[in-house]
Amino acid sequence: MNKTSSKKVVLSSCTYLCASDYTLAPHAWDFNAALFSNVNGKVVRTSDIEGLREMNKQQREVIVYIRYQCFTPDFQKIVKSRIKLSQKNGIVKIGSVQELKNNNKELIENLLQHDSICFSFDYKDDINEYRVGYVYMPVSVR
């Protein structure tokens, strides 16, 4: 959008479409995602530092954290088999998506299959009218 507008463009929000067969929830754009950025090797929330949501013509990495909920009993069983409970402090560690992918790539591919992220951008057009633009991106396993 910055390529079509000379005005300031701001990444305003991000929603997530969870469309996996492993979830019981309706497949709709109802999951709000938390947006983070990589600033000099440190991951920071974009709302904590002014200007991190402002877009420019340079490529920038945006890190999106989402939460899944309402898994099917079959998927819950698989995840529970991977849980490690710390005896010291009671912290439950499931592991990262990367660890789950290394152990069972098909599981993660099926979990993320048909999922998408929608970024919305606020900007003013050339006649100074407020606009909102959307970019939809499919989720894939790398």
In a domain, 23, yes or no: yes
- Check: CB of residue 35 under 8 Å from CB of residue 121: no
Specify if 88 maps to a domain. no
Model confidence pTM above 0.95: no
Q: Is residue 31 helix, strand or coil? A: strand
58 falls within a domain: yes
Residue 76 resides in a domain: no
Q: What tens-digit pLDDT sequence spans the chain (142 residues)?
A: 445 556 778 888 888 888 877 887 767 666 667 888 888 888 888 776 667 777 766 667 777 877 776 788 888 887 777 666 556 666 666 666 777 778 777 877 778 888 888 888 888 777 777 778 888 888 876 6
Domain hosting residue 133, numbered range: 9-71+112-138
39: in domain? yes
Number of domains comprising the chain: 1
Q: Residues of 122-136 as b/e, b for ≥16 C-beta within 10 angstroms?
A: bbeeeeeeeeeeeee
Whole-angstrom Cα distance, residue 55 to residue 20? 31
Q: Give 46-50's long-range contacts (Cβ < 8 A, gap of 24+).
A: 46/11
